[in-house]
């Protein structure tokens, strides 16, 4: 009898092959002290040198197998090794606490992860945490003399099953043999997901207990479209998924033809499908994947892994590059969004019992204008190089938005008096993440140029649920009628004032939600770029007028499950 496991669809496609477990080495460490600090420092230097040599070789492999995006990911790890700050902190720990090199590495890793490890939707923070974990694992393997697993040893076609797949694991993949990926951890935006997408490997992540429920040699179906893994499938299931794989391949060919066309529904309604980006490499992905703009530029990347805040010139140089690269397509930049799960070493934040409800995002910017003002100046200066919009995150009251907008206007006036050019048509909007704002949307709409619905936080706050807590994750229901009612209310309020509405959370790329959002009148869908062509294709096939009865039934349903069933019955196109 087959076993169905659910996860997150991280890289689209369907594959059928036996499992190959990629089990991590035992790098567990106990607290130990030394009487010979010089010897431990020498061991540390050797481990850094060996790790650097290995990573340089892997970078060469990645260049030939995966291209420049993969090289950039591995070169980030080399940069971490070459940054004297990391090594010096470990050495200081050895000398001051008399720790062994292994224990000092572990403690400093913990220190950095506490600063920038992510739990929700900050791709850049997640990337930094992933890179650091991969680097320290390699350092520890040399200190402990324990070899790391070698994916290159695979000599037959198989699906890798692991707790985690690191970027350097992926760089060693032989595409001739690796058929797909299943992991217990990870997210849609993790680095190995980006690299598996480059290799066109179906991937499903976040599959609970995958490494204990799946054994070497088990036949697997990996459905990277819907986020499902079938262990020991029946002959009927294998035949069904072979047909589905063929159909998906045909759809992919059609999607490619959409890159240079506008996204228009079957009844002529124009929509914009944009990308969420956090690094310049993401811009390249977005353009390759058919993005019609940038719906969310996460500016936190400029602040990570630094000892001090970036100055205005550093920020201007970066933002100018992003805006200019999009060739007059919309770029919506979010001002610094830290606090909650997002920490910065150079910005001291108070300890809070409930950080997600505390001092974060625009609240920090308004309280500490020395952080907000240079960023706004840099963004304003970059506006003349393309089509820039600016939005403030985590706005809770009209007073907050007015205060933030006033600071922006002040800096614009100063820049113009100083002789700088600033675009005349910069739209200024806000993230809509707090239910209270949605309830008051008709009032906020008088002051903003646009709303960008951050569905991840909006749903989380609506249901009082921490999405990172597996015990209550079932309560995170973006298809719930309450969410649909709130989203419709926001769209109607904005349109009544002639303003546009976008959405930049996971809901925007959910094929079940898209027909409902289209019919409600959402203007812009922004998402991870790998989902763009699929969503554009879906929109092109559907008529907003014909979807109106579906919206009426969905918002009057009782449960999220009812909504899903309604959409799947009414819109069969969502099943691919």
> Annotated catalytic sites, by residue?
191, 504
Nearest residue to 560 via CA among 466, 483, 494, 493: 483
Q: Give exposure, 445-464, as e/b (b: 16+ Cβ within 10 Å).
A: beebbbbbbbbbbbbbbbbe
Handedness of CA 65, 71, 73, 76 (dihedral sign): positive
| Residue 227 structure tokens | 């986020």
- Distance (Å, rounded) from C-alpha 112 to C-alpha 129? 8
Angle between helices 481-496 and 544-555 (to 10 degrees): 130
CA distances from 522 to 7, 11, 275, 447 (A): 28, 26, 15, 19
Intra-chain end-to-end CA distance of the chain, in Å: 26
Burial (0-12, 13-18, 19+ Cβ within 10 Å), 161: buried
In three-state secondary structure terms, 271 is: strand
Q: Which residue has the tokens 């840099």?
A: 378
| Residue 137 structure tokens | 């694992």
CA distances from 21 to 182, 211, 215, 496, 540 (A): 9, 7, 7, 55, 41
Q: Give exposure, 167-186, as e/b (b: 16+ Cβ within 10 Å).
A: bbbbbbbeeebbbbbbbbeb
In three-state secondary structure terms, 536 is: helix
Q: Tell me, what DSSP letter sits at residue 33?
A: B
């Amino acid at each position: 009898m087959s076993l169905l496991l659910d996860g997150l669809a991280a890289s689209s496609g369907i594959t059928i092959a036996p499992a190959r477990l990629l089990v991590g080495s035992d790098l567990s460490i106990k607290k130990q002290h030394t009487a010979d600090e010089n010897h431990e420092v020498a061991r540390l230097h050797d481990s850094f040198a060996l790790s650097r040599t290995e990573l340089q070789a892997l970078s060469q492999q990645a260049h030939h197998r995966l291209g420049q995006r993969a090289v950039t990911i591995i070169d980030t790890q080399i940069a971490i090794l070459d940054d004297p700050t990391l090594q010096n902190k470990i050495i200081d720990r050895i000398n001051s606490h008399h720790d062994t090199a292994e224990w000092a590495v572990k403690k400093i890793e913990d220190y950095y992860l506490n600063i920038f490890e992510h739990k929700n939707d900050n791709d850049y923070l997640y990337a930094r945490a992933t890179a650091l974990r991969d680097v320290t694992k390699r350092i520890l393997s040399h200190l402990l003399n324990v070899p790391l697993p070698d994916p290159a040893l695979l000599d037959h076609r198989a699906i890798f099953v692991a707790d985690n797949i690191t970027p350097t694991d992926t760089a060693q993949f032989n595409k001739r043999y690796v058929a797909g990926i299943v992991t217990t951890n990870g997210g849609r935006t993790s680095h190995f997901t980006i690299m598996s997408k480059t290799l066109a490997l179906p991937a499903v992540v976040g599959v609970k207990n995958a490494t204990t429920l799946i054994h070497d040699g088990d036949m697997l179906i990996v459905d990277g479209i819907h986020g499902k893994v079938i262990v020991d499938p029946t002959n009927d299931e294998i035949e069904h998924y072979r047909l589905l794989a063929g159909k998906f391949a045909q759809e992919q060919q059609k999607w490619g033809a959409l890159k240079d066309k506008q996204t228009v529904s079957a009844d002529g309604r124009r929509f914009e499908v944009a990308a969420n980006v956090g690094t310049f490499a993401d811009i390249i992905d977005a353009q390759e994947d058919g993005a019609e703009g940038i719906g969310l530029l996460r500016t936190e990347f400029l602040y990570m892994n630094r000892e001090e805040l970036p100055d205005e010139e550093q920020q201007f140089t970066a933002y100018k590059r992003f805006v200019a690269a999009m060739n007059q397509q919309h770029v919506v930049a979010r001002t610094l969004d830290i606090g909650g799960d997002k920490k910065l070493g150079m910005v001291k934040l108070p300890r809070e019992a409930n950080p997600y409800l505390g001092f974060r995002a625009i609240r920090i910017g308004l309280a500490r204008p020395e952080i907000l003002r240079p960023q706004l100046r840099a963004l304003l200066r970059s506006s003349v190089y393309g089509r820039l919009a600016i939005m403030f995150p985590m706005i809770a009251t009209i007073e907050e938005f007015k205060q933030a907008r006033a600071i922006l206007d002040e800096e614009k006036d100063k820049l113009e008096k100083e002789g700088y050019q600033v675009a005349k048509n910069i739209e200024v909007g806000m993230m809509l993440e707090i239910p209270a704002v949605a309830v008051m949307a008709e009032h906020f709409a008088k002051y903003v140029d646009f709303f960008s619905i951050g569905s991840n936080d909006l749903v989380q706050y609506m249901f009082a649920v921490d999405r990172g807590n597996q015990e209550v994750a079932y309560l995170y229901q973006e298809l719930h009628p309450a969410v649909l009612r709130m989203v419709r209310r926001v769209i109607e309020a904005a349109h009544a004032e002639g303003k546009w509405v976008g959405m930049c959370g996971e809901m925007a790329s959910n094929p079940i939600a898209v027909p409902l959002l289209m019919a409600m009148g959402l203007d812009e869908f922004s998402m991870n770029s790998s989902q763009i062509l699929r969503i554009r294709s879906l929109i092109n096939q559907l008529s907003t007028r014909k979807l109106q009865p579906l919206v009426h039934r969905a918002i009057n349903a009782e449960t999220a499950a009812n909504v899903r069933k309604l959409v799947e019955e009414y819109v069969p196109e969502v099943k691919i």
